[in-house]
Amino acid sequence: MESVPWDGELASQLKAQFGEAIVECASYRDQNFIVAKPETAIALLEYLKLEADFTYLVDLTAAHYPKRVEAPFDVVYIIYSFARNERLRVKIRIAESYRPATAAFIHSTANWLEREAFDMFGIQFDGHPDLRRILMPDEWSGHPLRKDYGITQMDQRWVKENLGIESGQ
């Protein structure tokens, strides 16, 4: 990705506040994003909400990069500030066993969005008030949006028990 460094006012403010914890401030196709250390994500979101008016969590999602052995998951927070009319992406790169802290106490939106990320990627959000599957059935095994989960793959046992058929295919 040919992103260009982003050195706006906000970027320098964040770098001054969080120092080493901000890995990268960059911009691609005029969209600013921050890559942060996983343990700072929540403090960063809180700071952005209280000090920079980013009061609206637009979306929270994840992406799976199995080739990045050390940290195969991206957790992406997209936030927006009504006062600035500005959008920002905060990304953290985490290992499979890492449990990022929940953002549900800063933005209520995060509750269901984190449940979806857990459902689809198996990312366990630490401290989440109600971390259950949301779209897939509760007893389903596997996390469909991981790259090693095949497009036709399914939980055969669940299908057999609940639908009474050999295969959903």
Supply the minimum distance, in Å, between the C-beta of residue 77 and another protein.
11
DSSP 69: S
Backbone angles phi, psi at 140, to 5 degrees: -60, 145
Residue 2 or 20 having the CB closest to another protein: 2
Backbone angles phi, psi at 102, to 5 degrees: -75, 150
Which residues face 5 on adjacent strands? 26
The Cα–Cα gap between 78 and 68 comes to 22
If binding is defined by CB under 8 A, does position 98 make contact with another protein? Answer: no
- Using CB under 8 A as the binding criterion, the count of chain residues that bind another protein stands at 36
Which amino acid does the sequence have at 91? Answer: K
Binding window for another protein (CB under 8 A); candidates: 40-48, 81-89, 94-102, 157-165: 81-89
Binding window for another protein (CB under 8 A); candidates: 6-14, 28-36, 95-103, 159-167: 28-36
CA distances, 22 to each of 48, 89, 131, 144 (Å): 13, 13, 28, 31
Q: Contact positions toward another protein, by CB under 8 A?
A: 1-3, 28-29, 31, 55-59, 61, 63-64, 76, 78, 82, 85, 87, 89, 107-109, 111-113, 120, 133-137, 144-145, 149, 151
